[in-house]
């Protein structure tokens, strides 16, 4: 990894790798705690001066300067700039993928479909091979037993969130979208109570909104199930349990083929966990459909 980290996402990636002992650096405990707090609350770094920030992170201004230099920055001001640029940097993630597709125009429709199928199989195989039995058991138990379940996905991830929400509504009660986030984060989070389950979908490039919701949801003492794409995902740190399903492909955005297979499998496992409860809920749904069809 290059030092200093070139942007906020690279700084966050550094923290994850450091916690996994992939990077060796002599960071004291208090400075590490301060860095974690700053990454989880980036706006305070962008807006505050070094004295105010030091007070909020429980270290001295000199410690913040030493931390910045340890990470390769020439001082606190350069370190602060990547937080200020966090919401300004535009990504060419999607356009670069489209350029790759354009360079491959002679490819036939069938060859494109075969490549997509191959990517989906590889992504799903990775998920299965690296799936922790305890994690999947915990995820299923939470989906089946939580008093209320809220599901969230921003932008493209909202499609997968809707699939999970719809399937879960068929087999249990008290399932809904973590809604109205477009009206403000506080409206969405205001719905939550302690020990609710929040299921969050996100893949690279991770939206700041999703990362913020995951972090704040954890702070509300809710259970968080993250369905994300990598061990380096920022959602992993904010989750009670996380499942990694890669989204790599030649599609011009993230491929959710493997995610769909995983979600269908997760719903089937949850139905098995619920047993008669799921069967009775499905029967009630069928009865309602029969009644609605009879009246239409």
Residue 96 has pLDDT above 90, yes or no: no
pLDDT of 44-56, one tens digit each? 898 899 999 999 9
Residue 198 has pLDDT above 90, yes or no: yes
Residue 110 located in a structural domain: no
Reported as a pLDDT band with limits 50, 70 and 90, residue 270 is very high
CATH, residue 269: 3.40.50.10490
Number of folded domains that form the chain: 2
Boundary (domain end) residue, out of 48, 65, 84: 84
Reported as a pLDDT band with limits 50, 70 and 90, residue 181 is low
Name the residue range of residue 146's domain.
Answer: 132-290
- The residues facing 200 across adjacent strands are 152, 226
Boundary (domain end) residue, out of 84, 118, 147: 84
141 and 286 share a domain? yes
41 and 144 share a domain? no
74 and 138 share a domain? no
On whether the pTM is more than 0.75, the answer is: yes
What pLDDT, on a 0 to 100 scale, did the predictor assign at position 268?
98
64 and 183 share a domain? no
The closest alpha carbon to 151, from 217, 249, 56, 81, belongs to 217
pLDDT of 109-164, one tens digit each? 888 899 899 999 999 999 999 999 999 999 999 999 999 999 999 888 999 999 99
The closest alpha carbon to 195, from 171, 217, 175, belongs to 217
Residue 2 located in a structural domain: no
């Amino acid at each position: 990894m290059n030092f200093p980290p070139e942007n906020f996402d690279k700084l966050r990636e550094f923290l994850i790798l450091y916690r996994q002992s992939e990077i060796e650096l002599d960071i004291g405990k208090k400075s590490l705690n301060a860095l974690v707090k700053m990454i989880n609350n980036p706006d305070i770094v962008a807006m505050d001066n070094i004295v105010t920030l030091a007070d909020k992170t429980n270290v001295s201004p000199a410690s913040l300067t030493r931390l910045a230099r340890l990470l390769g920055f020439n001082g606190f001001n350069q370190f602060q700039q990547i937080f200020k640029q966090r919401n300004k940097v535009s990504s060419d993630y999607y356009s670069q993928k489209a350029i790759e597709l354009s360079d491959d125009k002679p490819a036939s429709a069938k060859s494109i479909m075969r490549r997509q199928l191959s990517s989906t199989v590889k992504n799903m195989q990775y998920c299965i091979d690296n799936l922790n039995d305890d994690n999947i058991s915990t995820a299923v138990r939470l989906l089946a037993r939580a008093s209320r379940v809220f599901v969230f996905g921003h932008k493209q991830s909202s499609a997968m969130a809707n699939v999970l929400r719809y399937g879960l509504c068929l087999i249990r009660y008290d399932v809904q979208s973590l809604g109205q986030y477009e009206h403000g984060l506080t409206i969405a989070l205001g719905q939550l109570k302690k020990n609710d389950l929040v299921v969050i979908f996100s893949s690279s490039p991770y939206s700041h909104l999703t990362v913020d919701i995951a972090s704040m949801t954890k702070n509300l003492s809710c259970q968080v199930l993250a369905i994300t794409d990598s061990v380096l995902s920022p959602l992993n740190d904010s989750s009670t349990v996380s499942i990694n399903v890669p989204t790599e492909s030649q599609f011009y955005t993230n491929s959710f083929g493997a995610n769909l297979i995983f979600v269908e499998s997760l719903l089937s496992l949850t139905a098995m966990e619920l047993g008669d409860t799921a069967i009775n809920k499905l029967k009630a749904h069928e009865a309602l459909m029969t009644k609605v069809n009879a009246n239409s």
